[in-house]
C-alpha cells in the first residue's frame, strides 16, 4: 500500500526529511558508532542471524545550544531493556539504541532501584569486595547471561541523548541493516518526542528569568540575527516555548530506509478512550507491521497488538502473576513460587518473533 500512496502527505514527508538532515547537525558520536555497527551487522548477516534494533528510553529536546534546560519524554527504559533480554533468549542479535544512563539489559535488575549500587556488596573474610549472599544467586544468573551475550557478540549497546541524535542514528542504522533483508527487525520502544526545536531556532545561552536580572537576555542570548524567530522567549515574567513538529520518520523508515525489515512501533497514551483508535490510525498511516499500544498506568501488565495480519489482540499478564514493582518482578526470578511474577515482555517478544517468522516465510501483508 505504501508504494502506491504518493499523496501530498508523503511528498511533504520526503521534503521534511531532506530539510531535516540538511539543517540539523550530524551528531559527533555517529562515526564511532558506525565503526561498531558495520562489523556487528556483517557478522550476523554471515551467520544468518536475525537482528533486532531495540530503541529505548526518552529523547531530549534541548532549549539552548549550551544546554541547561531541555524537554524530555518519561521513560526509564524498562520496556526496551527487558525486551532486549527476551530477544536475546529468542536467538536474536540485539542493537540496543538507548538513552544514555537509562536502564540496560541485565544490569537493569540491579540499577534504578531504591538500593544504592554499594548496598549489594560486602567485604569477604579475606578482605575482597564480594556480592552479598542475599543477592548471589540472582546476580550469578544475570551475570552469566550478560557475559554470554558479550562473548558471543550478540549485543551492541549504543547511547543517544537528544531527539536529533536519535533520528540520525535511526536513519543510519536502518541503511546499515539493509543487507539483513527480512531478518531485520525494528522494535521502536523509545519514547521519541513529537516536537523539537530546529537548530536555526535555538538560542545559544541559558534563557534568563526576567525577574531575576534586569540585564537578562541581551541580543546574543536571544539569537538575534538567527534565520528564524527563537523558539523560547520571555513574555513578562513568563517563559514561552513554541516547538515544531518532528517530521514523521516512521514513513521514511518503512518506505525508503528499510522496506524489507519487520517494523514494530509503540503508542503510549494516558486516555484509555483513544488508545485502540490511535494505534489503528498509526498502522494505517505508516503501513508497517505492528503497533503495540499501551497505557501509562497499565503498561507493565497489558498491551494491545494491532497488525494488518492479526487485527487487534490484547496481551495480558494474568492478575495472579502481576508484580507490584519492577524490583519485585526481577527478584521473582530466583523465587521458587508457582505464582512468581511474570514480565509482560516475556509474552510480547515471542509473539513478535512469531509474527516475524510469518513475514520471513510468507512475505508481508502490507
Closest listed residue to residue 94, CA positions, set 81, 102, 84 = 84
> Is residue 22 within the footprint of a second copy (CB under 8 A)?
no
Identified binder of a second copy from the candidate list 37, 268, 291, 349, rule CB under 8 A: 268
CB of 197 closer than 8 Å to CB of 67:
no
Residue with smaller CB distance to a second copy, 59 or 352: 59
> Is residue 68 within the footprint of a second copy (CB under 8 A)?
yes
> Is residue 153 within the footprint of a second copy (CB under 8 A)?
no
In the window 217-256, what residues touch a second copy (CB under 8 A)?
A: 220-221, 235, 237-245, 248
Q: CA 287, 246, 98 angle in degrees (round to 5)?
A: 85
> Is residue 204 within the footprint of a second copy (CB under 8 A)?
yes
Identified binder of a second copy from the candidate list 128, 311, 361, 362, rule CB under 8 A: 128
> Is residue 143 within the footprint of a second copy (CB under 8 A)?
yes
> Is residue 303 within the footprint of a second copy (CB under 8 A)?
no
Stretch that binds a second copy, among 37-45, 98-106, 173-181, 351-359 (CB under 8 A): 98-106
> Is residue 72 within the footprint of a second copy (CB under 8 A)?
yes
CB of 312 closer than 8 Å to CB of 276:
yes
Give the nearest distance from C-beta 326 to a second copy in angstroms: 13
Give the nearest distance from C-beta 260 to a second copy in angstroms: 26
Residue with smaller CB distance to a second copy, 136 or 313: 136
CB of 244 closer than 8 Å to CB of 20:
no
> Is residue 14 within the footprint of a second copy (CB under 8 A)?
no
**Dist CA 259 CA 67 (whole Å):** 36
Q: Is 239 exposed, middle or buried (0-12, 13-18, 19+ CB in 10 A)?
A: middle
CB of 282 closer than 8 Å to CB of 264:
no
> Is residue 106 within the footprint of a second copy (CB under 8 A)?
yes
CB of 199 closer than 8 Å to CB of 23:
yes
Identified binder of a second copy from the candidate list 3, 74, 219, 336, rule CB under 8 A: 74
Closest listed residue to residue 186, CA positions, set 101, 247, 250 = 250
CB of 244 closer than 8 Å to CB of 254:
no
Residue with smaller CB distance to a second copy, 6 or 65: 65
> Is residue 110 within the footprint of a second copy (CB under 8 A)?
yes
Question: CB-side exposure of 263: number of CA atoms within 13 Å?
Answer: 24
Identified binder of a second copy from the candidate list 34, 179, 226, 281, rule CB under 8 A: 281
**Dist CA 352 CA 344 (whole Å):** 13
How many chain residues are in contact with a second copy, going by CB under 8 A? 76
Amino acid at each position: 500500500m505504501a508504494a502506491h500512496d504518493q499523496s501530498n502527505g508523503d511528498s511533504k514527508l520526503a521534503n521534511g526529511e531532506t530539510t531535516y538532515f540538511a539543517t540539523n547537525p550530524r551528531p559527533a558520536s555517529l562515526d564511532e558508532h558506525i565503526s561498531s555497527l558495520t562489523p556487528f551487522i556483517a557478522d550476523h548477516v554471515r551467520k544468518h542471524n536475525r537482528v533486532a534494533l531495540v530503541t529505548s528510553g526518552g529523547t531530549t529536546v534541548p532549549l539552548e545550544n549550551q544546554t541547561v534546560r531541555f524537554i524530555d519524554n518519561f521513560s526509564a527504559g524498562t520496556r526496551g531493556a527487558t525486551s532486549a533480554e527476551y530477544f536475546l533468549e529468542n536467538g536474536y542479535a540485539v542493537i540496543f539504541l538507548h538513552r544514555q544512563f537509562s536502564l540496560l539489559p541485565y544490569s537493569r535488575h540491579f540499577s534504578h532501584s531504591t538500593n544504592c549500587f554499594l548496598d549489594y556488596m560486602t567485604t569477604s573474610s579475606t578482605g575482597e569486595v564480594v556480592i552479598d549472599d542475599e543477592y548471589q544467586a540472582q546476580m550469578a544468573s544475570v551475570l552469566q547471561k550478560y557475559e554470554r551475550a558479550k562473548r558471543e557478540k550478540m549485543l551492541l549497546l549504543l547511547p543517544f541523548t537528544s531527539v536529533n541524535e536519535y533520528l540520525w542514528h535511526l536513519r543510519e542504522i536502518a541503511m546499515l541493516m539493509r543487507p539483513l533483508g527480512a531478518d531485520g527487525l525494528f522494535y521502536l520502544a523509545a519514547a521519541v518526542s513529537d516536537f523539537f526545536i530546529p537548530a536555526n531556532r535555538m538560542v545559544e545561552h541559558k534563557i534568563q528569568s526576567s525577574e531575576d536580572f534586569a540585564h537578562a537576555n541581551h541580543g546574543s542570548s536571544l539569537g538575534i540575527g538567527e534565520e528564524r524567530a527563537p523558539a523560547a522567549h520571555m513574555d513578562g515574567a513568563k517563559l514561552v516555548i513554541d516547538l515544531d513538529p518532528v517530521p514523521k520518520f516512521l514513513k521514511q523508515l518503512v518506505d525508503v530506509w528499510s522496506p524489507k525489515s519487520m517494523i514494530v512501533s509503540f503508542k503510549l497514551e494516558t486516555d484509555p478512550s483513544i488508545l485502540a483508535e490511535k494505534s489503528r490510525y498509526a498502522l494505517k498511516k505508516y503501513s508497517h507491521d505492528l503497533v503495540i499500544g499501551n497505557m501509562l498506568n497499565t503498561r507493565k501488565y497489558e498491551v494491545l497488538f494491532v497488525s494488518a495480519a492479526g487485527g487487534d489482540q490484547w496481551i495480558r499478564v494474568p492478575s495472579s502473576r502481576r508484580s507490584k514493582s519492577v524490583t519485585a518482578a526481577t527478584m521473582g526470578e530466583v523465587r521458587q513460587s508457582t505464582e512468581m511474577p511474570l514480565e509482560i515482555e516475556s509474552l510480547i517478544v515471542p509473539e513478535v518473533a512469531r509474527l516475524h517468522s510469518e513475514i520471513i516465510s510468507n512475505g508481508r501483508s502490507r
